[in-house]
Amino acid sequence: MLKHRLIKLVHLAGLIWLVLCLLYIMALTLRRAGVGWWVIFSLSGYSAFLISLLVSLYFFALYRVFARSQKIEVEHPLTTSDYYAFFYIAAPFLGGIAGCTGGINTTTSEFLLEISIASLGTAFLVWVIIDPIAGCIEILTPAGLKHRAKRLAQARAEKEKRQQERERLLVEVLAKEKSNLRYQQEMLAPLAEKLAELLMVKAKDFESAGKKAAVMGVKAWQIGGLSCMQQLRDMTMEICRKKYKDSMVVDYVSTWWDGIGNWRNPSPC
């Protein structure tokens, strides 16, 4: 935790330093072009785009630092070391120091310009070019290649194991569903026979038949809910089609069961 806080502080200081360097380069360039200070300050809004690019570069570097902690040391022996981490986060300051040595015998403005350019250039060079190249080279070492191949093989094996487990669970669920369906069919078969007979009753017994059918609907609801009621209704209509081929069978079941559980009689419209 302390190490991560130190990295954040150093990176924050590096960001502030880089922004100052960028602003100084812009201001000095405009002054040399003969632009007055009031114009320079008025252009500060346009410089926000460049500053945002710099901030994006900073966050990219910060992400790379924390992503490095997820790297495997065997595959990345250099970029996971503390020495490299210090070099990485201190790149802007190291560039500034290099700039100091190159502008000793110059004017103050030139001296600060050398420092600013060296800081920005070093940060870009280390964060965008050197670090990705170093990471790629590390993977190509014999130990890195061997460990990577082993790690990928383990990942594939774990993925296949999870896939097999999902397939096993799916087979179990389907088998259980099939068993439940068979059990429901056995439970509903007698009810379907009686319900089919009720559909063929005479008009004078229609009200009594409706009450008996409602009791059967409640029982089907208690067995398996709406799906079970639908199954019983389908079984009943199938029996009617087979038994009473020459008779006109009206589906009174939907009307008799209206309001039982979630069953709703479809609108005639």
pLDDT of amino acid 191: 87
CA proximity to 79, closest of 22, 215, 70 = 70
Report the C-alpha gap between 189 and 220 in whole angstroms: 11
pLDDT of amino acid 57: 60
Tens digits of pLDDT across the chain (269 residues): 556 677 777 877 877 788 788 778 777 776 666 655 544 444 444 455 555 655 666 666 555 555 555 556 767 777 777 788 778 888 888 888 888 876 666 788 888 888 888 888 888 888 888 888 888 888 787 877 787 788 888 889 999 999 999 999 999 988 888 887 787 788 888 888 888 888 887 777 788 888 888 888 888 888 888 888 888 888 888 888 887 765 667 778 888 888 888 787 665 44
Q: Which amino acid is at 228?
A: C
The pTM assigned to this predicted structure is 0.46
- CA distances to 115, 200, 208, 241 from 250, in Å: 94, 9, 17, 11
- What residue segments make up the domains of the chain, in order of their start? 2-140, 158-256
- Strand, helix or coil at 105? coil
Q: Which amino acid is at 246?
A: D
pLDDT of amino acid 42: 47
Report the C-alpha gap between 235 and 253 in whole angstroms: 12
- State the virtual CA torsion across 114, 115, 120, 122 in degrees, nearest 10: 100
- CA distances to 93, 109, 113 from 22, in Å: 14, 14, 10
Is residue 43 within 8 Å of residue 30, measured between CB atoms? yes
pLDDT of amino acid 2: 58
Q: Taking CA 252 as the corner, what is the angle to CA 248 and CA 255, rounded to the nearest 5 degrees?
A: 155
Burial label for 232, CB within 10 Å (0-12, 13-18, 19+), is buried
pLDDT of amino acid 101: 79
pLDDT of amino acid 34: 63
Phi, psi of 200 (to 5 degrees): -100, 10
Report the C-alpha gap between 116 and 19 in whole angstroms: 10
CA proximity to 233, closest of 258, 208, 211 = 258
pLDDT of amino acid 100: 85
